[in-house]
Structure 1
Amino acid sequence: MASNHAVAYKGPGKVEVIETDYPTFELKDGPGVNPANVGRKVNHGAILRTVATNICGSDQHMVRGRTTAPTDLVLGHEITGEVVEVGSDVEFIKVGDIVSVPFNIACGRCRNCKERKTGICLNVNPDRPGSAYGYVDMGGWVGGQAEYVLVPYADWNLLKFPDRDQALEKILDLAMLSDIFPTGFHGAVTAGVEVGSTVYVAGAGPVGLAAATGAFLLGASVVIVGDMNADRLAQARSFGCETVDLTKGDPADQIDQILGEPLVDCGIDAVGFEAKGHGSGSGHEAPATVLNSLMDVTAAGGALGIPGLYVTGDPGGVDEAAKKGALSLSLGTGWAKSLSFTTGQCPVMKYNRQLMMAILHDRTSIAKNVNAKPIGLDDAPRGYEEFDKGAATKYVLNPNGLIPAA
């Protein structure tokens, strides 16, 4: 049997590459596995040899100790791989296929899946609707920052790339289909971006840059990205975004300088619950800051797309309310301006095939826009450390050496 190595959470601020079990078609007990899922048969699944698996800001929340994630949890929900084995119930996915894995685990059978709400599948997580690989409170499905990973409901979940050689040639772009590109695009769609829209994206991390990329795909006339990190703002400018430096204060005045008015048509929150206050001397955590500022700068009748992560349990929250995910939102502002809000996991399968076609036919350069950089699995601790320090880079792990050299 093949060996398997994976990236595991070892406590706040620490990850390690460990030797772990090769996947089988049964969900076994382990860190974070819901007892009701132990022994669950996965004959509908496939085992993948990982081609690319990315470090995500959502992983970083756990690694910082900002969730209730257990020690030794194998991380990783942004997975692209080659099928090496299929379960007895798999009909259409074949050994040798190169596939993208939506980070949402979905059964394809429940009411929500049939309504394309794959982010809140009812059958894969005994704790709550919705599941993901290698993530706290998501049912205990083993993460994919590993050499090999099990994917359940393979015929339903896996997006097969039409041509192997073309896929490997564009693998850094295609690796973004598992999460951040659909997630950012979902933020833009739910914010109501259309031809001619003016858009403000809060956050210049990979999801924010993906949201900006998605907004341009949808026809936005101006995309403004706000952040406190100069390198990340420079990365946003590299593909045509205007930028707002939030160390200089709230975004309204700087938006006014760009557009001639302090309002945009559409607002996107790509930051989430670890948001910080704005202005000189900023850096203190103020988790409602982004949502409240977005309500201020979004025109009446507009919409907010909120792909940024918010949690119900945050041990490091700034106060008792924040530790439960209860934030001091100016909901009255939102109500008075008739703003719409869309939150929650992106239903990746709603967008991933269309975005794949945009990549394959050279209509977008998502890997370039987010500054994707492949590194070895053993370099994962360094990648986490640099990402946590604000590197303007999307780190793509290359566990099996299958990503071609540039």
Structure 2
Amino acid sequence: MSANRAVAYVGPGQVEVQDIDFPALELRDGPGVDPANVGRQCQHGVVLKVLATNICGSDQHMVRGRTTAPRDLVLGHEITGEVIEAGRDVEFVQPGDIVSVPFNIACGRCRNCKERQTGICLNVNPARPGGAYGYVDMGGWVGGQAEYVMVPYADFNLLRFRDRDQALAKLLDLTMLSDIFPTGFHGAVTAGVGVGSTVYVAGAGPVGLAAAASARLLGAAVVIVGDLNAERLAQARGFGCETVDLTQGGLGERIAELLGVPEVDSAIDAVGFEAKAQEAGAGEAPATVLNSVMEVTRAGGSLGIPGLYVTEDPGGVDSEARHGSLRIRLGLGWAKSHTLHTGQCPVMRYHRQLAMAILHDRVHIAKAVNATPIPLDDAPRGYAEFDRGASRKYVLDPHGALDGVRAV
């Protein structure tokens, strides 16, 4: 077997489906691969036939030209697949297994992995803690928006579904386990959401919707979602959330109308560094969301920040923003004794229990985020529509495993 096709970034606003090498149990040289990782042997890895792989908002940051991603970088870090080849050092995963792949690559051997901080593994990326598939500055591991992909440290990383038929039947929901669902859940957990909480979620994109669904799963009394996009707000209302149209202004006033007080117990920033000022037609203001969630979170409350912030942003609004320095009202957060939690979600901390919630119909995450399968060849269209604000979570279907499937 030698053929493989994948989605690659080719320039600002552009992706294309390219012919690439069939994966080997070795990290070869290529676009974005850290030189110190070239030639790395991965007999602890497997090759997957990709059954579902999702377009993520984090991918869009690269595709918009807002990172230092190189041309021809193969994209994709949300992967669900079938094992077709296992390295000689793989012990517990076998060909034929259906598995979910955490987007963070983790060795399972370093101090951080042993402390369940798999988002900042010390051994997979020579440049900094933490690695991921198909992402700039994350070690150069080839992305999974492809027909086939290699996954290292398979015994540690992969979540294997015991019942193959059940997994295939729930594939559209289970594909959310690689990133979006655990990331949204992590945002809710780190924000301190629990039974009876009042919660504000900034952003009604897929991660925000996943965070809102997670807050409801955790027992929140009221979940309020704010956005500038009416279609995305309608999606949030569809599974029981209150919503705030931020083009109308007055976030605190609207929260007061809903709760009787202009504050919430917990807040989640599901927007990140490309935030826009909270009024119709306004331009970027990258600290807007962080400042607004501090304003509306009660004293002593917590902020979960799954939204992405970067160290280098070539398209930043000013010289400070281009290096990840934002004008955050830290004094406000300090005065209110807020707890802020940032960084990559450690997917393995949550994915098993979230899988159980899916498999036993405790949550319908694909419906919540409006998961929409499309063929691999339609990836450029999916990226373009998502960039224009479509209220959909596009799921690429390289082998027809999701033919005729819709979220329920």
Question: Is TM-score (shorter-chain normalized) higher than 0.5?
Answer: yes
Matched, 1:331 2:364: no
Alignment of 1:340-379 (within 5 A): 340-379=339-378
User: What is residue 105 of structure 1 aligned with on the other side?
Assistant: 105
- Residue identity opposite 1:125 in structure 2: N
Structure 1 gaps of 5+ residues are none
Alignment of 1:205-284 (within 5 A): 205-279=205-279, 281-284=280-283
- Residue identity opposite 1:93 in structure 2: V
Distance 2:403 2:146 in 1: 18
Alignment of 1:157-196 (within 5 A): 157-196=157-196
User: What is residue 309 of structure 2 aligned with on the other side?
Assistant: 310
Distance 1:233 1:405 in 2: 26
Aligned with 1:17: secondary structure?
A: strand
Task: Please give the per-residue CA displacement for 1:94-121, whole angstroms capped at 9, x wherever unaligned.
Answer: 0000000000000000000000000000
- Residue identity opposite 1:21 in structure 2: D
Displacement of 1:283 in angstroms is: 2.6
Distance 1:80 1:62 in 2: 22
- Residue identity opposite 2:79 in structure 1: I
Task: Please give the per-residue CA displacement for 1:145-180, whole angstroms capped at 9, x wherever unaligned.
Answer: 000000000000000011111111110100000000
Distance 1:122 1:218 in 2: 31
Distance 1:2 1:326 in 2: 45
Distance 2:146 2:344 in 1: 23
User: What is residue 301 of structure 1 aligned with on the other side?
Assistant: 300
Regions of 4+ moved over 3 Å: none
Aligned with 1:397: secondary structure?
A: strand
Aligned with 1:314: secondary structure?
A: coil
The TM-score normalised by the length of structure 1 is 0.99
Deviates more, 1:331-340 or 1:246-255: 246-255
User: What is residue 290 of structure 1 aligned with on the other side?
Assistant: 289
Structure 2 gaps of 5+ residues are none
CA contact (8 A) 1:180 1:206 kept: yes
User: What is residue 56 of structure 1 aligned with on the other side?
Assistant: 56
Aligned with 1:320: secondary structure?
A: coil
User: What is residue 387 of structure 2 aligned with on the other side?
Assistant: 388
Distance 1:188 1:283 in 2: 28
CA contact (8 A) 1:105 1:118 kept: yes
Displacement of 1:2 in angstroms is: 3.3
User: What is residue 319 of structure 2 aligned with on the other side?
Assistant: 320
- Residue identity opposite 1:128 in structure 2: R
Aligned with 2:268: secondary structure?
A: strand
User: What is residue 144 of structure 1 aligned with on the other side?
Assistant: 144
- Residue identity opposite 1:199 in structure 2: V
Displacement of 1:403 in angstroms is: 1.9
In 2 relative to 1, CA 2–290 (structure 1 residues): closer, same or farther, beyond 3 Å? same
User: What is residue 82 of structure 1 aligned with on the other side?
Assistant: 82
- Residue identity opposite 2:39 in structure 1: G
RMSD over aligned CA atoms reads: 0.6
Q: Percent identity?
A: 75
Distance 2:47 2:282 in 1: 43
Distance 1:46 1:240 in 2: 40
Displacement of 1:404 in angstroms is: 4.3
- Residue identity opposite 1:41 in structure 2: Q
Distance 2:335 2:227 in 1: 27
Displacement of 1:62 in angstroms is: 0.2
- Residue identity opposite 2:179 in structure 1: D
Task: Please give the per-residue CA displacement for 1:175-214, whole angstroms capped at 9, x wherever unaligned.
Answer: 0000000000000000000000000000000000000011
Distance 1:161 1:372 in 2: 21
- Residue identity opposite 1:405 in structure 2: G
- Aligned residues, how many? 405
Task: Please give the per-residue CA displacement for 1:59-109, whole angstroms capped at 9, x wherever unaligned.
Answer: 000000000000000000000000000001000000000000000000000
Aligned with 1:59: secondary structure?
A: helix
The TM-score normalised by the length of structure 2 is 0.99
CA contact (8 A) 2:302 2:339 kept: yes
CA contact (8 A) 1:168 1:404 kept: no
